[in-house]
Amino acid sequence: MFADLEIDQIAANPEQPRKFFDEAKHEELKGSIEENGLLQPVVVRPIEGGETPYMLIAGERRWRACKAAGLKVIPSKVIKDASEERAYVLSIAENVGREDMTIMEEAGAYADLRAAGWSPAKIAKQFGKTETHIKWRLGLLTLREEVSKMVDKGEIKPNLAWHIAQLNPSNQMVAATRYVRGDFDSEAEAQHFANALKMMEQQTTLTSEKAPSAEETEKRKKAKAQAKDGLGKAEEVLLPLLEELAKQKPEDLAVILGSDLTRHVRVVGKLHSQVQMVRNLLSKAQGIQRVMAAEFNKAAVEVQQERTEAKEQGEAATEEKQKPEAKPQAETKPEPVAKKAAAKPAAKPSGAARTRHRAAAGAAIKTTPARKVPAQKKAEPAAEAAKKAEAAVEK
């Protein structure tokens, strides 16, 4: 059923799979609506007991642009009896084919359906995708947040992102960062590097723990010499030949090669296939070599740190040994008993004597002049009076 609904009677769907809305495209759509009106209605469903009578199923971008353009009424297609799941599927169906829906938003939408019990095959059939496409999108959900943002920005393509997603979080950042900063000549090289990191995770190290035997070392030398010799011949003979053929015109080659042309096409086809295979193999080897180099560098840094720490500890121990020993303090001889006795304070005077002492001290203080004098001079008469009072008490 189609109806013109008040725009304020419609609420956005909080479970909308699409979370990012491009501001420039929003302004472009707003201008188009102001000029031509809304050409495609939004899709809504009735909501009982909600703050608004209707909720969007599809067309949130159009609804946002209409609100920004100041429209009060919006053309709508009302779908009754649509379940939550059905509404969500319709929302995904509208957005999944749009170029402005990010890869991670698409993966999240499929994950919600997967959590609702949908199989990858059912999801693929529903949205016209292959099952492999759905599985690869779901595989991206193990990416750490920083790498997910790189994927959404288009800095990392989906195919490479899937290979990075197979790594642990730490190695994900290693592979993603190196690719984004341009350490690889192609996406395939970055993919092989990620695969080599995965190998390292599975077998702890890419290098043998044991040193190779003399026999193994000799075999490696021979294999290396043969490979160098073979590649050297290809570089010296095959490359110049192919470069020479590439300069010819097709009509000239048709005459020059004559009846052998078909055989040469077949040979070059096989050669191309083998070159592609070897190129892929060498690229994988290069990825492993880069990981081995990174692992070696990491181990070298750790060894250097250990050496530095050991050196610092040794220096600290040497300094501790070189510190002079503290001399024991001389024992304090006890003072003679007689001296201690002499040091004892005099016996306290009786209550009457104390009264006379206070009275004498008070009288002495009262007799001091009342003029302003420095604090030190003030204290001297008072001290003398106190001494006289003590003398009087003793008598």
What is the set of active-site residues?
A: 60
CA–CA separation, 128 vs 26, rounded Å? 27
Backbone CA torsion sign across 188, 192, 198, 202: positive
CA–CA separation, 7 vs 318, rounded Å? 81
Q: Which residues contact 390 (CB under 8 A, 6 or more apart)?
A: 357
For residue 235, what is the DSSP state? I
Please state, in angstroms and as integers, the Cα–Cα distance from residue 7 to each residue in 90, 244, 313, 393, following that order: 21, 70, 73, 107
CA–CA separation, 334 vs 332, rounded Å? 6
CA–CA separation, 380 vs 370, rounded Å? 14
Q: Where are the alpha helices (DSSP H) in 140-260?
A: 145-152, 158-165, 169-180, 187-203, 214-233, 239-246, 250-257
CA–CA separation, 108 vs 151, rounded Å? 13
CA–CA separation, 191 vs 162, rounded Å? 9
For β-strands 42-46 and 2-6, DSSP reports them as unpaired
Strand, helix or coil for residue 145: helix
Within a 10 A sphere around the Cβ of 80, how many other Cβ atoms? Answer: 7
